[in-house]
Structure 1
Amino acid sequence: MNAHPSHFRPAPEGPRPDLARITPPARPLGPWCLFRTIVRNPLEAWPEAIYREPLYVSEFLGNTSLFVMAPNLIRQVMVDEADAFEKSEVLRRALSPALGDAILTADGARWRWQRRAAAPIFRAERIRSFVPAMIAAAERTREALAAEAGAEVDIAQTMMRTTFEIIVETMLSGHGAIDAARVETGITDYLESTSWIFALTLLRAPAWMPYPGRAKAERAKTYLRDELLRLAAEGRRTGTDGRNDLMSLLLAARDPETGQAMDDRDVADNLLTFVTAGHETTALALTWAFYLLAHHPEAEALVAAEVEAATGGGPLTADHVDALPYTRQVILEAMRLYPPVPVVVRAALRDVDLGGTPVKAGTPITLPIYAVHRHAALWDHPERFDPGRFAPEAAKARDRYAYLPFAAGPRICIGMGFALAEAVAILAVLVRAFRFSLRPGYRPELKQRITLRPAEGMPMRVTPR
């Protein structure tokens, strides 16, 4: 699985850096310890067996849930019998208050028609038309970093702002004034509360149950929903003629079977879904890629060399972004070690059989993507950073359902192509210009708040190459 691109030499073997990771408990946690751990960081509650076994049955206060790690069983849940599973209660309670009944949180017929409505914006030719805007945003970030050369910057925050700028430009056509810093803060404040929702759902507590930070999360939710509702109403009022962005498509969308249109609330819910998911996840993939390259300067040098070879020393263009296989492999490997969405949770709609294990209707099914990506039976040296895992011949030899940064099946991330093009473009622009080094002695703490964030950001020194 560790073949390298033929035109690049493999990194020399030697001492491996101690990369940030979750240290799982050797045995399942007791009820009180489990509750506290989930509130602090849900990933830390997964026992070591989840990184070794194909399927794991968890019991908590008489309630059963399943962790599924075997690729054939993941395929059964996400593809072969996808109609037997729905979004879990914990996901609905965590995200629906902010995102409503939009494409990420809806199920059934409502999900299908929203997916059809949004699909045209993510066709390959449309994504390609967005790449110049992605490169331009990366170049503005490059100029901003050049002005701070030698100083320490938080790359996590820098990437959040860069990808947010791209989302506003491509999904909203720069439509309306939107306060990027306040939206970013609102998203963080809302997501910060989600670990409490996970823990209280496990206890089967009612949705109205108060918890620390709930009022702050409610304020953030109200601001985010009101802001996107304002943009939707403004877009409908000013018209969509000549626009090819997501807002215009959603405003004009009609269900081909019923003729139903989206009202402003539907449009706002979906816009907020794409603004939130679309910039947060790509920013995190890039943040972790810069972290890994700082620990592997030989790989960083290969990215810079590949970009120079592709461009001939000239400006990066959309054509070049398609011709950077190693740079893309770095992004893919960063998303293996640090998947931006580290877990997917479903619930069985009916009684099913998973690999000989009977599963009753209503049972929560956890697909622990972070653990699957580091599973001892699926990956050679799973803790090691090795972009060569994603060379074409290595990827072809691996089970498709061992690697799930964008999920899989009918509900595979609709923005996958957009996110990969964006991440490659940004990484290429910045790595050819700068070297990135971590604050000495800094080891980021992994924190799950729906997405997988570095708890205290990613302080890095940026120096011109």
Structure 2
Amino acid sequence: METALQEREPVKARLATRPLGFFGSLRAARTNLLEILPAIAVTQPMVSGRTGVRWHMVMDPEALRRILLEKVDDYPKSVVTKNLLRPAIGESLFIAEGAHWRWQRRAAAPAFSARNIGALSPVMTAAADASSDRIAAAGSRAIDVHLEMVRATFEVISDVTLSGEGRFDRESMHRAIDNYIDVAGRVSLFDIAGLPGWVPRPGRVISGNALKKMKAVADDAIAKRGAGSAKSPPDLLDLLMAGEDRETRRRMRTPEIRDNLLTFIVAGHETTALTLAWGLYLCAFAPEVQEAAAEEARRVLGSRTARAEDLPALPLIRAIVDESLRLYPPAGLLSRTARTADTLCGREIRAGDTVMIPIYALHRNRLLWDRPDAFDPQRFRDGTPVDRYGYLPFGDGPRICIGAGFAIQEAVIILATLLARFRFRAVPGRDPKPVLIITTRPEGGIWLTAEPRPDPDRPRAAA
């Protein structure tokens, strides 16, 4: 199996082989941010340049440790990142800095404890079952598993954030989120030129109606919970409303609850859906891995659906999730703005410089990974593959993604269930293209056929 995997590589992005210039960079930033990454980013620890502003791309683990952990306050989220996302999620955990971020993080952290995440797992199990039923109903027709995984994970995130809201229009909310990402999530000429955030960006003005719908749904849910309709067990909205910063005794007000709720809804389904979709593509790409994973899942699950308590017995499924996050990280590029002068990899960093962390290039860097473009989940079963700061699907340091445990649990539950029940095959001529706008999406979808596997609990007929 290992030899076969060494000879083949799944689809990858086309990186820049020459300087793009100002307008070339703008074009790439609006259509596929992966194409602004220079090809040498997968062979070097750091690359620098200037396109309107001075920028640096960092792929060196020690430098990344400095940015994300040791001097995190000196490298806040970039102005471009804030301009893209602030209209939708305000000064939530993803955007806030300094003391305002710290108290929110402390208040929200209990909601994502292992105990609370485990209590929400029945919702994930139900979504895995529903997804399995929809895939089975497609019969022999090819399906876009990206769209199916988006539907499944949106069912999860809406149920664990807005469970029981009778007037909640799930489809309308999802369309509003998708519209905002597609229209307003693209870098504009004003962003590349370094214009301040108060200068209106046309795309974000156009998407105003989508934002109003998203915020109205969240505000309505918060108001209803305030009237005493808490769930049992509590969902994420209940836990956010009850959360308190132990140091300051501060609790979130309605605007802060809404902004963080929308952050979890937007990020909590999109990123996991992409991990699952790319994971199914990789399993179809490598049938030998898929069969081994299916055998593991069927041995543990039989004909039932996966649950949270099954995760320790599904190491190969977990490794496929980890390898999917390596090859196609949902957050393929992070961006920071240097607040003070510094030195990284022996190079001068000036205050105001843009410091990018190209996760996509980091995860394929030849200085860090053996056969970096190959699909080989075994690398995550043989111990730590590289320096901790060489693998950053959820970031790291104090600002590591608060929902990482939630996402991994959901992805393993759904992936194990589907691989136990179906054999996925790629549709010839329909290879996906990795495209990064805000997240690393498969342009054109991921089209697979799904052949039902025999029920492992049903006795076989005598020969």
Which residue of 47, 59, 76 maps to 2:38? 47
Residue 102 of structure 1 deviates from its aligned partner by 0.6
Percent identity (aligned): 37
Shift of 1:205: 3.2
User: Which residue matches 1:33?
Assistant: 24
Q: Kindly provide the amino acid, as one letter, of the partner of residue 327 in structure 1.
A: I
- In the alignment, what sits opposite 1:110? 100
Q: 2:430 is matched with which residue?
A: 442
> What is the aligned partner in structure 2 of residue 5 from structure 1?
none
Contact 1:38–1:195 (CA<8 Å) still a contact in 2? no
Give the 3 Å change call, closer, same or farther, for CA 127–16 of structure 1 in structure 2: same
User: By how many angstroms is 1:32 displaced?
Assistant: 2.1
The one-letter amino acid paired with 2:136 is A
- 2:342 equivalent in structure 1: 352
CA RMSD of aligned residues (A): 2.0
Give yes or no for the alignment of 1:24 onto 2:12.
no
Q: Please state if 1:418 is matched with 2:406.
A: yes
Looking at structure 2, the residues matched to 310 and 111 of structure 1 have their Cα atoms a distance apart, in angstroms, of 41
Partner of 1:461: 449
**Residue 256 (structure 1) shift:** 3.3
**What is the CA–CA distance in structure 1 between the aligned matches of 2:145 and 2:342, rounded to whole Å?**
45
CA distance in 1, matches of 2:363, 2:58: 12
Show the counterpart of 1:3: none
Would you say the 8 A contact 1:333–1:386 is kept in 2? yes
Q: Which residue of 2 aligns with 1:175?
A: 165
Partner in structure 2 of residue 283 of structure 1: 273
Q: 1:374 maps to which residue?
A: 364
Question: Any idea what SS the aligned residue of 1:22 has?
Answer: coil
Correspondence 1:323 to 2:309: no
Distance 1:79 1:252 in 2: 29
Shift of 1:460: 2.0
Q: Is 425-434 or 26-35 further displaced after alignment?
A: 26-35
- Distance across 2 between alignment mates of 1:241 and 1:285: 29
Structure 2 alignment gaps of length 5 or more: 454-463
For 2:394, the equivalent position in structure 1 comes to 406
1:236 corresponds to: 226
Amino acid at match of 2:150: M
Q: Check 1:291–1:409 CA distance in 2 against 1; reply closer, same or farther (3 A cut).
A: same
Partner of 1:221: 211
Partner AA of 1:50 in structure 2: A
- Is contact 2:317-2:416 (8 Å) kept? yes
Equivalent residues, number: 453
**Do the aligned residues in 2 keep the contact of 1:168 with 1:174 (CA within 8 Å)?**
no
Aligned CA distance change for structure 1 residues 419 and 172 (closer, same or farther; 3 Å)? same
Q: What pairs up with 1:117-266 in 2 under 5 angstroms?
A: 117-194=107-184, 196-197=186-187, 199-207=189-197, 213-240=203-230, 242-266=232-256
**1:20–1:443 contact (8 Å) kept in structure 2:** yes
Conservation of the 8 A alpha-carbon contact between 1:437 and 1:462 = yes
Contact 1:190 1:217 in 2 (8 A): yes
For the residue of structure 2 that corresponds to 1:460, the secondary structure is: strand
The one-letter amino acid of 2:324's match is A
Q: 1:273 corresponds to which residue?
A: 263
Amino acid at match of 2:419: V
CA distance in 2, matches of 1:14, 1:423: 23
Secondary structure at the aligned position of 1:330 is classed as helix
Structure 1 SS opposite 2:430: coil
Check the 8 A contact 1:155/1:459 in 2, yes or no. Answer: yes
Q: Displacement, 1:229?
A: 1.5
C-alpha distance in 1 between matches for 2:327 and 2:189? 25
Report the counterpart of residue 297 of structure 1 in structure 2.
Answer: 287
Give a deviation string over 1:40-79, Cα, whole Å, max 9, x none.
Answer: 2121011112111111111124x21111100110111001
Secondary structure at the counterpart of residue 463 of structure 1: strand
Deviation at 1:243, TM superposition (A): 4.8
Give 1:343's match in structure 2, choosing from 333, 355, 362. 333
Q: Secondary structure at the match of 2:54?
A: strand
**Secondary structure of 2:62's partner?**
helix
| Shift, 1:312, TM fit | 4.8
Cα distance between partner residues in 2 of 1:442 and 1:212 = 34
**Cα shift readout 1:108-166 (whole Å, capped 9, x = no counterpart):** 11111111111112111222222232112101111122122212222111111111111
1:242-281 per-residue CA deviation (whole Å, 9 max, x = no partner) reads: 5522211222233334433322211111110001101110
TM-score (norm. length: structure 1): 0.92
- Equivalents in 2 of 1:24, 1:434: separation in Å? 34
1:200-220 deviation line (CA, Å, top 9, x unaligned)? 312123546666644542221
Q: Give the gaps of 5 or more residues in structure 1.
A: 1-9
Give the stretch that moved more between structures: 255-264 or 92-101: 255-264
**Whole-angstrom distance in 2 between the partners of 1:68 and 1:199:** 24
Residue range with higher mean Cα deviation, 212-221 or 421-430: 212-221
Answer yes or no: is the 8 Å Cα contact 1:231–1:268 preserved in 2.
no
Greater shift after overlay, 199-208 or 298-307? 199-208
Question: When the two structures are superposed, what TM-score results if normalisation uses the length of structure 2?
Answer: 0.93
Q: Secondary structure at the match of 2:57?
A: strand
Question: Deviation of residue 456 (structure 1)?
Answer: 2.1
Deviations 1:16-43 (A, max 9, x none): 4452211112122122222222222121
The separation in 1 between residues aligned to 2:232 and 2:297, in whole angstroms, is 35
Amino acid at match of 1:75: R
Q: Does 1:386 align with 2:376?
A: yes
